[in-house]
Amino acid sequence: MYNDDMGGAVSQSGFELTGAYSILLNNQDAVSFGLSMKGNQFVFDGTNLEVYQSGDESLPGTLESSFGVDFNAGMMVYGKDYYFGMAVFNLIQDKLSLAGVDDENRLVRHYHFMGSYLYNVSRLVAIQSSALMRMTEVTSAQLDLNARAIFNGTSWLGLGFRPQDAIVLSTGLNYGAFTFAYNYDITVGENMLSTHSHELSFGYFMPARSAFRSRPSSGRRVRSSDRILK
């Protein structure tokens, strides 16, 4: 995967290689482990930067760049109606040699904990609840709570809440192997850089040739395709 992001005087580009391995459990659920390596090029352009106070050594008036390598890891247990897991980003907290400082400029380790449960109200309606908690070693935890109603397995309406930050309204539609979604964020916290935002997403599900296989203690079994969480 390739990424390219720019915001003001700071830009970031790089690549990420990801792999995962899944193991079938005896109850027909599964556990999956993932590991990724990423390389990022950080660039700080201070040549045209306007600052309130000149002479700040942490904001050099030059063009500086630094390339670093780091790793992410995670695991997830999942079944037909649920999943839960965790992920850790920036495992080695790679140093960034910007502004001539190596020890203070470095990537910060992030921790994500997530879970979801799908409840079938009827043959045509289901309710899916999910939660995501994000935290670092230097900041407090941030919690996302979400719920959506799924109709006939093809369309949904959702509501999300991030305490002291935002409320999210969402809707989406699946059509064959394609999926479309729209999110509307309403800011309710003190971060008023933007009172609201819009997000459109489009996806395509690549068909799998076969379900994965494993060798649990009770013997060789094959995981059926309808048990794979989508």
What's the structural domain count of the chain? Answer: 2
Q: Let me know if residue 70 belongs to a domain.
A: yes
Q: Is residue 217 part of a domain?
A: no
Per-residue pLDDT tens digits for 171-200? 999 998 999 999 999 888 776 567 888 999
State the residue range of the domain holding 2: 1-46+64-93
Whole-prediction pTM value? 0.73
72-124 pLDDT, tens digit per residue, is: 999 999 998 999 999 999 998 887 766 555 556 778 899 999 999 999 999 99
Residue 101 in domain: no
Q: What per-residue confidence (pLDDT) applies to 103?
A: 57
Which residues, including other chains, have CB under 8 Å from residue 100's CB and lie 6 or more apart?
A: 60
**How far is the C-alpha of 111 from the C-alpha of 94, rounded, in Å?**
16
